[in-house]
Amino acid sequence: MSGHNKWSTIKHRKGAQDAKRGKIFTKIGKEITVAAKIGGGDPSGNPRLRLAVQKARAASMPADNVQRAIKRGTGELEGGQIDELVYEAYGPGGVAFIIDIATDNQNRSLAEVRNMVEKSGGKLAKAGAVSFLFSRKGMIRYDSDKHTEDEVMEAAIDAGADDVFTEDGQVVVYTSQGDFAEVKEALDEAGLESLVAEVAMIPSTSVDCDAQLALKILKLIDKLEDNDDVQHVWGNHEIADDVMNEIQNS
């Protein structure tokens, strides 16, 4: 399947995030608060909240933090006014970006994101300018050394997944956004342990990056994801393994 980010790029992003545990807790807390605000504070009846709580546990987020985030969403505690926004942008080399925001101050978020994008040589774009290049899908990844493609496919297709394929040592499952929670739970019940499970923006076309452009893109992603209001950054950049190795070894 073409038009997706190489897993090496995603690993770079995940590694940068994992090094900033406090920021991870802040971002997950916002996701929990928004989920509880929209669908109620009971994870058993709120799939989005259930997934957010699972993410919190996987990140070793303290249970007290999780409960406070839920209570902010349900109005039992102050601080539940979190707005979700989506910014679209062109980065260096014409790479298209979708930037998911969760913020209590829209003006601050807009100013900070615009500043980071423009300093990288890019610019914010109007709504719809780049989003047509992406599809929002559920994405679940498994270590192919632990779970074979056939094993994952059998459980995933029965659960209603759209596609299963192997890439860069990972077995990847794509679902529709609406079916994501149900498919993820079915795969969990089948005993499959995922590496990543999230609703992702999957690009239909990609921009191949040489080392110079890739470095600019990765620096911009790191700066954006260091911002507490930025929940996710999705780009249509494609960084080959040899280019990624060159960057990491330089």
Q: Could you read off the pLDDT tens digit of each residue along the chain, which spans 250 residues? A: 333 444 444 444 555 545 566 788 999 999 999 999 999 999 999 989 999 999 999 889 999 999 999 999 999 998 778 999 999 999 999 999 999 999 999 999 999 999 999 999 999 999 999 999 999 999 999 999 999 999 999 999 999 999 999 988 899 999 999 999 999 999 999 999 998 898 999 999 999 999 999 999 999 999 999 999 999 999 999 998 888 888 888 7
**Cα gap 49→47, rounded to integer Å:** 5
Cβ–Cβ under 8 Å, residues 121 and 180: no
Q: What is the pLDDT of residue 1?
A: 32
Neighbours of 227 (CB within 10 A): 19
Q: Which homologous superfamily does the CATH classification assign to the domain defined by 133-203?
A: YebC, transcriptional regulation domain (3.30.70.980)
Nearest to 231, CA basis, from 201, 193, 195 = 201
Q: What is the pLDDT of residue 8?
A: 42
∠ CA 161-199-201, rounded to 5°: 105
Q: What is the pLDDT of residue 7?
A: 43
Residue boundaries of the structural domains of the chain: 17-74, 133-203
Grouping H, G, I as helix, E, B as strand and the rest as coil, residue 164 is: strand
Q: Check residue 122 and report its DSSP letter.
A: -
Q: What is the pLDDT of residue 41?
A: 95
**Cα gap 155→57, rounded to integer Å:** 24
In terms of phi and psi (left: phi > 0; alpha: psi -120 to 50; beta: otherwise), the region of 235 is beta
Q: How do strand 134-143 and strand 170-176 relate by DSSP bridges?
A: antiparallel
**Cα gap 99→117, rounded to integer Å:** 11
Q: What is the pLDDT of residue 18?
A: 53
**Helix, strand, coil shares, percent, the chain, to 5:** 50, 25, 25
CA distances from 73 to 27, 48, 65, 70, 76 (A): 14, 13, 13, 5, 8
Residues 6 or more apart from 188 whose CB is under 8 A from it? 194
Q: Check residue 94 and report its DSSP letter.
A: G
Q: What is the pLDDT of residue 101?
A: 97
**Any long-range contacts for 59-64 (C-beta under 8 Å, 24+ apart)?**
59/21, 59/24, 59/25, 59/28, 61/24, 61/25, 61/28, 61/29
Q: What is the pLDDT of residue 180?
A: 93
Cβ–Cβ under 8 Å, residues 139 and 197: yes
Domain range 17-74, CATH class: mainly alpha
